[in-house]
Amino acid sequence: MFKTNTFRTFIVLLLMSGAAFAQFATISGTVTNNGNPVANTTLWFSADDTTQGNFGVKAVETDQDGNFSQNWFPTPTTITQQDTFSYSPVTIHVTDFEQFPTPTIVDIVFETRKQDATFSGNVSFENAGYQSDIFMLKLPADVDPADFTEVESHFMAPQVPTRWASYSFASDANGDFSVDVLFGNYVVYVPGNGDLLPSWTVVTIDDDFSGYQIEMRKKVHISGAVANTDGYDYVTISGYSVNSGRPFKADVFNGEYDIEVAPGDYVLHLRAFFMIDDSSYIYTEFYDGVHSRDEATVVKAETDVSGIDFTLPNPEVFPYTVSGTVTDENGSAVSGANVTIISTNIVSNLMMTYDATTDDKGSYSITGYTMLDEDSLVAFAWADGYFSEFYENQATFLTADPVVYHPNETVTVNFELNTIDTTSGYGISGSVTDTAGNVIGFGQVTAYSTYPENFQTYVTIDENGNYEFPAIFPTGSTVFLQCWVGFEYLPQIYDGVDSWEDATPITIGADNITGADFSLTPKPARRATIGSIIGTVNPGGLAKTTGVNVYEGSMVYIKQQGTDSWQEVDYVDENGSFKLGVEGYGSYDLLLTSPERTDQELTGVVVDERTGLVKDDVSITLGVTAIGDLNDANTITTNKLYSAYPNPFNPATTIQVELANTEIAELTVYNVAGQKVKTLHTGLLQSGTSKFVWNGNNNSGTVVSSGIYFIQLRTQKGLQTKSVIFLK
């Protein structure tokens, strides 16, 4: 007989589908393998003709004796089995039905599928065998078992493990197990209990596979309250182990949470989601009330820990404004320039990107939103016919100068873009893809040229993955290229290397260079960092030379010992400092590479306690190579135009110029309309420091009007401009 609920379900299905069956049917049978019943296996029932209604797909389980019985519709039906791993696939078509209630008998025979290997091993807890069910899920072929972000998407406790699993078996009283399986990558799941955590592991079974050990872990609880959750749609808390390992997570219900974790030290990270006017926002915070993993208070959980509380701010956002101008090197407005801002803090506070376009006066204004009392952002500007620029005159997001802002505040960010001069050289162009051949339609390519000496510039990658340096490199110059396309890839140096020592130089001849392509490999999967190694780069004991940043272009890579690929990179700042995130306690290797120096590798940087996560004592010394030798500390290696002094002035101001080499130079004063007012020097200028005085006269000897003027130094290495104010 039908159970009441089942009967009602069928009536509803019939009414919804419009099917007009006079009666129901029952399909019964037995599933066997080699004459033995196949217990607790799943069969799938599906109607062949769906035009009469949506019957869905029904999962039917066999009992301990391999028997099954299902009330069904008297319509052509296909029966398939779920387990196509232990048994060869079977498909049964049922077209003739007995008159209800006489069952239609369908006996199904499974044939054993030839397996590739034996998966055997032991499950234990505290060095004793552990008896338990074990479930294995075969991962899709395109899932990389080393990529935890892909693999852990399969780490979800199944409601019906036997349906979830490709193979189901059990360990014996000693914890031993053995089962024949196909080659492949598997998630292995061992359920936990009130005292033990469930075990999730990944195993690759191939010709080299040997015995496998599964160690169960004690379960402890981190719990607490989250105050002021009203107005938030969803709040969750993650615990990241500083001893390395997968993160644990719990949702917040009724202002409380309870995370089940293994014993150890944890950094806790809260995320709270809410909406305002159909816009989604996220607020994040680390314990105890901070917004940086480096500052987070570590929760020690060798036993249950309670009272780890959070307090959410009200779910509201506050505006801030970034405004300014985009001009060229002459101070003229650049209209139609694009300006983008984005939060510097990649783990906290909204992480929204905002854009604007300059008007005919070169002005722009962007309103963003924040939840923090203080935050910072980076800004980027680009326009046709100009070199693009991160603020302030930087090539990448990683080297950009952060702009600090506060709620309800307006900050000014001005850009001065250099005009692209295509009258004196040749260009370089190429494409950017990943190793799978997919176009990467964003990012930048930076060029470092030995002639003019220490010349650096960069262009953006377009949406088709192409980049092009215009005709700016003179014949005989040597150019090194670097590609940066955001955080999913490490920067790559041409031709396909990480290190400047291994870079392929491009020599400029008498024609444009094409086909300088990049093929980037995605970063290796990395767990969330829970602290940082902070260090400094020491330039071989040399003092910082006048007018040159000896760290320009230097990068520091990091990887955990035992891994094959560099995992992350940071650019050395103007103070020689760098900061690299670490995933937990352990030993790390660092590599410093610079376009002007030999590579330096620092191995075995040990992080063995929380206070050691910030290692201010890490120091790397730069060696010198022949790419761009540093001479003595007084050598000038780049040209520089200094700001005029005094400024504002009347009756005269002094302008200082430094040249690395004796060369043709022009020092000129322009007004705000771009008209030449006074030529202070033109012709050969000796290397070293030179000073020029402007008394406010034009080339005719007449005193100019009060206002803003621009002093421009032009050499073969490019243009530099400073502003000055003359007051009568």
Q: Could you report the per-residue pLDDT of 251-291, keeping only the tens digit for each?
A: 999 999 999 999 988 999 998 988 888 777 788 889 988 88
The count of other CB atoms within 10 Å of the CB of residue 3 is 9
Report d(CA 15, CA 9) in Å as an integer.
Answer: 10
pLDDT at 486: 76
Task: Identify the residue with better confidence: 725 or 164.
Answer: 164
pLDDT in tens, 209-245: 888 999 999 999 999 999 999 999 889 999 988 876 7
Reported confidence tier of residue 611, pLDDT bands at 50, 70, 90: low
Reported confidence tier of residue 412, pLDDT bands at 50, 70, 90: very high
Report d(CA 286, CA 296) in Å as an integer.
Answer: 6
Report d(CA 466, CA 93) in Å as an integer.
Answer: 55
pLDDT at 28: 95
- Nearest alpha carbon to residue 257 among 296, 287, 277: 287
Query: Contact 313/362 with Cβ under 8 angstroms?
Result: no
Report the range of poorest mean pLDDT among 53-67, 144-158, 368-382, 509-523: 144-158
Buried b (16+ CB within 10 A) or exposed e, 517-550: bbbbeeebebbebbbbbbbbbebeeeeebebbbb
Report d(CA 215, CA 284) in Å as an integer.
Answer: 34
pLDDT at 672: 61
Report the range of poorest mean pLDDT among 110-114, 140-144, 166-170: 140-144
**pLDDT higher than threshold 50 for residue 545:** no
Q: Where in the chain is the domain with CATH 2.60.40.1120?
A: 4-109, 117-215, 319-417, 531-621
pLDDT at 616: 53
Q: Report domain 220-311's class.
A: mainly beta
**pLDDT higher than threshold 50 for residue 542:** no
Report the range of poorest mean pLDDT among 158-172, 488-502, 541-555, 572-586: 541-555
Q: How many residues does the chain have?
A: 728
Four-way CATH pick for 4-109: 3.40.50.920, 2.60.40.1120, 2.60.40.420, 3.20.20.140: 2.60.40.1120
Report d(CA 575, CA 22) in Å as an integer.
Answer: 85
**pLDDT higher than threshold 90 for residue 413:** yes
Reported confidence tier of residue 52, pLDDT bands at 50, 70, 90: low
Q: Are strands 117-125 and 212-215 parallel, antiparallel or unpaired?
A: parallel
Write down the CATH superfamily of domain 319-417. Carboxypeptidase-like, regulatory domain (2.60.40.1120)
Report d(CA 154, CA 485) in Å as an integer.
Answer: 29
Helix (H) or strand (E) holding 669: strand 663-671
pLDDT at 121: 94
* 18-22, 477-481, 541-545 — most confident range: 477-481
Q: Which residues pair with 311 in a beta bridge?
A: 227
pLDDT at 624: 35
The two three-digit tokens of residue 357, written as one number = 């376009």
**pLDDT higher than threshold 60 for residue 97:** yes
**pLDDT higher than threshold 70 for residue 546:** no
Mean pLDDT of the 659-664 span:
75
Task: Identify the residue with better confidence: 545 or 588.
Answer: 588
pLDDT at 2: 34
Report the range of poorest mean pLDDT among 165-169, 211-215, 446-450, 643-647: 643-647
CA 432 to chain centroid: 18
pLDDT at 626: 28
Task: Identify the residue with better confidence: 581 or 496.
Answer: 496
The two three-digit tokens of residue 128, written as one number = 């004793």
Report d(CA 40, CA 64) in Å as an integer.
Answer: 6
Task: Identify the residue with better confidence: 343 or 468.
Answer: 468
Backbone angles phi, psi at 612, to 5 degrees: -85, -5
Report d(CA 123, CA 131) in Å as an integer.
Answer: 7
pLDDT at 461: 87
142 DSSP 8-state letter: T
Mean pLDDT of the 185-195 span:
92
- Environment class of 459 (CB within 10 Å of its CB; exposed 0-12, middle 13-18, buried 19+): buried
Helix (H) or strand (E) holding 233: none
pLDDT at 541: 44
pLDDT in tens, 583-598: 887 888 888 888 766 7
Reported confidence tier of residue 339, pLDDT bands at 50, 70, 90: very high
Report the range of poorest mean pLDDT among 16-25, 173-182, 247-256, 273-282: 16-25
Task: Identify the residue with better confidence: 3 or 283.
Answer: 283
Report the range of poorest mean pLDDT among 9-13, 131-135, 460-464: 9-13
Reported confidence tier of residue 609, pLDDT bands at 50, 70, 90: low
**pLDDT higher than threshold 90 for residue 104:** yes
**pLDDT higher than threshold 50 for residue 711:** yes
Report d(CA 352, CA 491) in Å as an integer.
Answer: 23
CATH topology of domain 117-215: Immunoglobulin-like (2.60.40)
**pLDDT higher than threshold 80 for residue 646:** no
Q: Which residues pair with 539 in a beta bridge?
A: none
The two three-digit tokens of residue 164, written as one number = 């979830």
Query: Contact 434/522 with Cβ under 8 angstroms?
Result: yes
Reported confidence tier of residue 296, pLDDT bands at 50, 70, 90: confident
Q: Report domain 640-726's class.
A: mainly beta
**Long-range contacts, stretch 680-685, CB < 8 angstroms, 24+ apart:** 680/655, 680/711, 685/657, 685/659
What is the maximum alpha-carbon separation in the chain? 117
* 410-414, 589-593, 606-610 — most confident range: 410-414
pLDDT at 48: 83
Mean pLDDT of the 2-23 span:
42
Q: Which residues pair with 483 in a beta bridge?
A: 445, 492
Mean pLDDT, the chain, rounded, equals: 82
Report the range of poorest mean pLDDT among 41-55, 315-329, 523-537, 626-640: 626-640
Query: Contact 200/187 with Cβ under 8 angstroms?
Result: yes
Write down the CATH superfamily of domain 531-621. Carboxypeptidase-like, regulatory domain (2.60.40.1120)
State the alpha helices, DSSP H only, in 114-232: 148-151, 161-164
Report d(CA 706, CA 700) in Å as an integer.
Answer: 17
Mean pLDDT of the 523-535 span:
79
Collapsing DSSP to helix, strand or coil, 152 comes out as helix
Reported confidence tier of residue 580, pLDDT bands at 50, 70, 90: confident
Q: Which residues pair with 199 in a beta bridge?
A: 190
The two three-digit tokens of residue 693, written as one number = 């005085």
CA 6 to chain centroid: 49
Mean pLDDT of the 170-181 span:
95
0.75 surpassed by pTM? no
Task: Identify the residue with better confidence: 458 or 91.
Answer: 91
CATH entry 2.60.40.10 includes domain 426-520: yes
Backbone angles phi, psi at 17, to 5 degrees: -85, -20
Collapsing DSSP to helix, strand or coil, 688 comes out as strand
**pLDDT higher than threshold 60 for residue 203:** yes
Backbone angles phi, psi at 148, to 5 degrees: -65, -30
Report d(CA 165, CA 162) in Å as an integer.
Answer: 5
**pLDDT higher than threshold 80 for residue 112:** yes
